[in-house]
Chains A and B, each alone.
Chain A
Amino acid sequence: MKDDLFFNLDHGYAEGLCRGFKSGILKASDYHNLVQCETLEDLRLHLQSTDYGNFLANEASPLTVNVIDDRLREKLVQEFQHLRNVSYQPLSTFLDYITYAYMIDNIVLLITGTLHQRAIGDLLPRCHPLGSFEQLGAITVADTPAQLYTAVLVDTPLAPYFIDCISEHDLDELNVEIIRSTLYKAYLEDFYNFCKTLGGITAEVMCEILAFEADRRAFMITINSFDTGLTQDERAKLYPTCGHLNPDGLQELRRTDSYDGVRDVAARYPQYKVLFEGSGTNTGDKTIEDKFFEYEVKLNMNAFLRQFHFGIFYAYLKLKEQENRNIIWIAECIAQKHRTRIDNYIPIF
């Protein structure tokens, strides 16, 4: 009851804004129009009649997919930052938590870019704006994870996540991947606990979504690690523990060595069994990543069915990201003139 009575005092405006933004998400008819475009210029024209408006108006032709991706991201960042600016506690902490994931992505982008001798001027503009923090530019001076921590991350919100990663080994591909996954695992578990302490409907909605995210990470890390140098034990340390798979499923995943093994583990959980059954590794099938995206969209849409909770802000961001992925996919198919799988986008409404 407390949720219903007092929520709107502090968060009613933000929730109203968010629901307004949500109604601008592209519908099936919009996607139908986009799929029929022959060139990227047509795509630009069709997007003008949606909520996107003239966001591509100032771009010189010829349009490229990279430019579309940048503008889409800019628009989303503007909306999110506006929501962040009008929010009060604890919503502002919640929204800050969401940005930590992008900070982790930016750190990894900068480290790999530096490893491959890219100039910092090339890399900084490609970082995700939601994940920028003051010390971001200083990452390029670090050679080992220990230096990375003491020089850069110790003053950022990510400092507590980094404790498991500090080592004196050089930063190479294996370690960068381990750093990424360890940071993300710590972040996800922290976010999950934060949502639990918020309690009420927020906890119900967010914990469901974050548990799925944790399970998805565990599955994807396992599947993608076959035939790489990652051992089973190293892999097991990267699994987030806040999902439904903890602890039995994670134990089983640790021991699997093939895609079919992963499928067998998933078969024990009814919601994941369905996803694995509908997918395959042949060229014509939907991949398991697609099925996971679909399930995520379903969970995020369900978040909007309840009122007076923070989950809608997270759900809105994720739905917009999926929409951006859809638009980029359609744009790539148009640009490559390979329209057979152009319908592989995931419809949201």
Chain B
Amino acid sequence: MDSLCEQIDKLTIDYLEEFGHLLACKQLLDDTIKQGYFNLSRARVIMGVNNLSRLQYSEKDPMIASTKISITLTPFNIEKQIDKEHYDDTLKWFGLLSPTILKQSQKSFQQTIDLALETCIRQKKILQLKNQIEQLLKEKKTFLIKENFDENKKDN
């Protein structure tokens, strides 16, 4: 019984910690995306609004994803594949000598992929911990009911 309670306590603390990490991760994701868009606007102002617009990319050619993510549910696994061939092409659309801030913007958006994956993994972990805690709480409840029953029987 004591060991059961200890286990529940430990898992609850882990759960709260992971939740804190998840919130921090989501905040970082939010900030990185905002930073990416911000640097993009700055680059637009430096290069001129018409030099960083839809005129510089082709809507007729089909766009190929440079990063592919595959998720398998059981067992839970996320894989990220980078298509090396087409990786750096997109920045070249806007001119070979684009300002550093545009490159920083691209890096921010690339980081968001990793951050989003990390958020997914943490969320999955939290759900697992939640299930484990609920399981143990059920066990504890049946244990307490059984104890009460035995005690009542003894009194009688």
Contact B101–A287 (Cβ < 8 Å): yes
The 9 A-B residue pairs with the shortest CB-CB distance in the complex, in nearest-first order: A177-B96, A116-B58, A224-B97, A332-B41, A69-B49, A173-B92, A117-B60, A117-B58, A329-B45
Given contact pairs A177-B95, A224-B97, A228-B96, A109 touches B55 in the complex (Cβ within 8 A): yes
In this complex, what residue of A is CB-closest to B101? A287
Indicate if A289 sits at the interface (CB-CB under 8 A): yes
Instruction: Give, as a whole number of angstroms, the nearest-CB distance from A51 to chain B.
Output: 21
Q: Which residues of B contact A338 (CB under 8 A)?
A: 34, 37-38
Which of A118-126, A151-159, A310-318 has 4 or more CB atoms under 8 Å from chain B?
A118-126
Q: Which residues of B contact A123 (CB under 8 A)?
A: 55
Contact B41–A229 (Cβ < 8 Å): no
Contact B100–A281 (Cβ < 8 Å): yes
Given contact pairs A117-B61, A283-B35, A328 touches B45 in the complex (Cβ within 8 A): yes
Indicate if A246 sits at the interface (CB-CB under 8 A): no
A/B interface sample: 23 pairs, CB < 8 A: A66-B53, A69-B49, A109-B51, A109-B55, A112-B93, A113-B55, A113-B56, A116-B56, A116-B58, A116-B61, A117-B58, A173-B92, A173-B96, A180-B95, A181-B97, A220-B97, A224-B99, A225-B96, A228-B96, A230-B97, A287-B42, A336-B38, A338-B37
Contact B55–A341 (Cβ < 8 Å): no
Q: Which residues of A contact B97 (CB under 8 A)?
A: 177, 181, 220-221, 224-225, 228, 230
Indicate if A223 sits at the interface (CB-CB under 8 A): yes
Contact among A221, A223, A329 with B100 in the assembled complex (CB-CB below 8 Å): A223
A296-349 at interface with B (beta carbon < 8 Å): 325, 328-329, 332-333, 336, 338, 341, 344
Given contact pairs A116-B93, A117-B61, A173-B95, A126 touches B56 in the complex (Cβ within 8 A): no
Q: How far is the CA of A290 from the CA of B41 in the complex (A)?
A: 14
Q: Which residues of B contact A333 (CB under 8 A)?
A: 41
Instruction: Give, as a whole number of angstroms, the nearest-CB distance from B52 to chain A.
Output: 11
Contact A122–B61 (Cβ < 8 Å): no
Contact B100–A341 (Cβ < 8 Å): no
Contact B56–A325 (Cβ < 8 Å): no
Indicate if A166 sits at the interface (CB-CB under 8 A): no
A141-200 at interface with B (beta carbon < 8 Å): 173-174, 176-177, 180-181
Q: Which residues of B contact A173 (CB under 8 A)?
A: 92-93, 95-96
A67-111 at interface with B (beta carbon < 8 Å): 69, 105, 109
Residues of A in contact with B (beta carbons under 8 Å apart): 65-66, 69, 105, 109, 112-113, 116-118, 122-123, 126, 128, 173-174, 176-177, 180-181, 220-221, 223-225, 228-230, 281, 283, 287, 289, 325, 328-329, 332-333, 336, 338, 341, 344
Indicate if B98 sits at the interface (CB-CB under 8 A): yes
Q: Which residues of B contact A287 (CB under 8 A)?
A: 42, 99-101
Indicate if B156 sits at the interface (CB-CB under 8 A): no
Q: How far is the CA of A116 from the CA of B92 in the complex (A)?
A: 12
Apart from A109-B55, A283-B104, A328-B45, what are 17 other A-B pairs with CB-CB below 8 Å? A66-B49, A109-B51, A112-B95, A113-B55, A116-B56, A118-B55, A118-B58, A177-B96, A180-B95, A220-B99, A223-B100, A224-B99, A229-B96, A283-B35, A336-B34, A336-B37, A338-B34
Q: How far is the CA of A60 from the CA of B101 in the complex (A)?
A: 33
Indicate if B44 sits at the interface (CB-CB under 8 A): yes
Indicate if B143 sits at the interface (CB-CB under 8 A): no
Q: How far is the CA of A165 from the CA of B112 in the complex (A)?
A: 41
Contact among A109, A174, A332 with B96 in the assembled complex (CB-CB below 8 Å): A174
Instruction: Give, as a whole number of angstroms, the nearest-CB distance from B146 to chain A.
Output: 58
